[in-house]
Chains A and B, each alone.
Chain A
Amino acid sequence: MTEKIPLLTAKNVTVSYGKRETVHQLSLNFPENKITAIMGPSGSGKSTFLRCLNRSNDLVPEVQVGGEIQFRGDNIYAKKVNPAILRTKIGMVYQQPTLFPFSIYDNVAFSQRMLGLHDRKMMQEIVETSLQQAAIWDEVKDRLATPAQALSGGQQQRVCLASVLAAKPEIILLDEPTSALDPIASAKIEATLIELKKLYTIVIVTHNLQQASRISDQVAFLLDGQLVETGPTRPFFMNPREQATSDYLNGKFG
Chain B
Amino acid sequence: MNRYLIDRICRWLIYAVVATVVALILLFVGFLIAKGWSTVNWQFLTTASDDGLGIRDQLFNSLYLLILTLILSCPIALGSAIALTIYGEKSRFASVAKMAIQALSSLPSIIIGLFGFLLLVLKFKIGFSVLSGAIALTFFNLPILTQSMSLAIATVPSSRLDAGISLGVSQWHTIIKVVLPEAIPGMISGIVLSAGRVFGEAAALIYTAGQSAPKLNYGNWNIFDSNSFLNPLRPAETLAVHIWKLNTESIGPDAEVISQGTIVVLILTIVAFNFLARQLAHHWQHKIYR
CB neighbors of A among B116-170 (8 A): 159-163, 165-170
A56: chain B residues within 8 A (beta carbon): 162, 165-166
Most chain A C-beta atoms within 10 Å of own C-beta, residue among B169, B173, B177, B289: B169
Choose among B90, B182, B289 the residue that contacts A147 (Cβ–Cβ < 8 A): B289
Please name the residue on chain B nearest to A56 by beta carbon.
Answer: B165
CB of A99 within 8 Å of the partner chain: yes
Is A132 an interface residue, CB under 8 A from the partner? Answer: no
User: Do the beta carbons of A59 and B167 come within 8 Å of each other?
Assistant: no
A88 touches B182 (CB 8 A): no
Q: CB-CB < 8 A to A225: which residues of B?
A: none
A101-B288, A147-B289 known; A61-B166 Cβ under 8 A: no
Chain A: which residue is nearest B176 at the CB level?
Answer: A114
Q: Is the CB of A61 within 8 A of B167?
A: no
CA distance A169 to B162 in the complex (A): 17
Partner of A59, one of B161, B163, B178, B289: B161
Residues of B close to A62: CB separation below 8 A: 90
Interface string of A221-246 (1 = CB under 8 A from B): 00000000000000000000000000
Contacts of B171 in A (CB 8 A): 59, 84
Query: Contacts A98-B162, A99-B163, A100-B178 known; A88 to B289 CB distance under 8 Å?
Result: no
Contact B166 A164, beta carbon cutoff 8 Å: yes
What 1/0 flags go to A97-125 for Cβ under 8 Å of B?
A: 01111000000001100110000000000
Confirm or deny: A91 has a beta carbon within 8 angstroms of a beta carbon on chain B: yes
Across the interface, do A98 and B160 meet the contact criterion of CB distance under 8 Å? Answer: yes
Name the B residues within 8 Å of A96 (CB-CB).
159
Q: Indicate whether A10 reaches chain B with its CB closer than 8 angstroms.
A: no
Tell me which residues from 233 to 290 in chain B have a Cβ below 8 Å from any Cβ of chain A.
Answer: 288-290
**Complex Cα spacing A99 to B163, Å:** 7
Whether A78 sits at the interface, judged by CB under 8 Å, is: no
Query: B165 to A163, Cβ gap below 8 A?
Result: no
- The answer to whether residues A98 and B168 also contact, given A114-B177, A147-B289 and a CB cut-off of 8 A, is no
Tell me how far the C-beta of A85 lies from the nearest C-beta in chain B, rounded to whole angstroms.
7
Query: Is the CB of A167 closer than 8 A to any CB of chain B?
Result: yes
- In the complex the two chains form, what is the Cα distance from A147 to B287 in whole Å? 12
Q: How far is the CA of A99 from the CA of B164 in the complex (A)?
A: 9
A sample of 11 inter-chain contacts (CB < 8 A) reads A56-B162, A59-B161, A62-B90, A85-B168, A94-B163, A100-B160, A111-B167, A111-B168, A114-B167, A147-B290, A167-B168
Query: Told that A98-B159, A98-B163 touch, could you supply 11 new A-B pairs with CB distance under 8 A?
Result: A61-B89, A61-B90, A62-B90, A88-B168, A89-B168, A91-B166, A94-B162, A100-B178, A101-B289, A147-B289, A160-B166
